[in-house]
Amino acid sequence: ISNEEMDAGHSERRTINEESDEYINCQCLRLIENDMSVILCIGETELEYEKDLAGAVCEVQLKKGLAGISNEEMDRVAIAYEPVWA
């Protein structure tokens, strides 16, 4: 990760701004296209946690958030686990 990095999928923006996984993916792709690094934030809500869905929710967020990002580009991606309820 470089000094020119931005986060995508932050829990507050996912909930308050209702940012979808598809929108977050577009953010990730644009950052990489602009030679920046991205911190992809993933995490479940408290209700999802209580229903033991954390793994499934994070898996979907990862798959959708990283769609279209090549193996070579992954060196510019960091994953941050940030549950909404924490």
Q: Which residues carry out catalysis?
A: 10, 82
Both structure tokens of 39: 């911190």
Nearest C-alpha neighbor of 68 from the set 36, 31, 43 = 31
* Residues belonging to the chain: 86
Cβ neighbours of residue 37 under 8 Å, at least 6 residues apart? 1, 2, 4, 5, 6, 31, 76, 77, 78
CA distance 17 to 12: 8
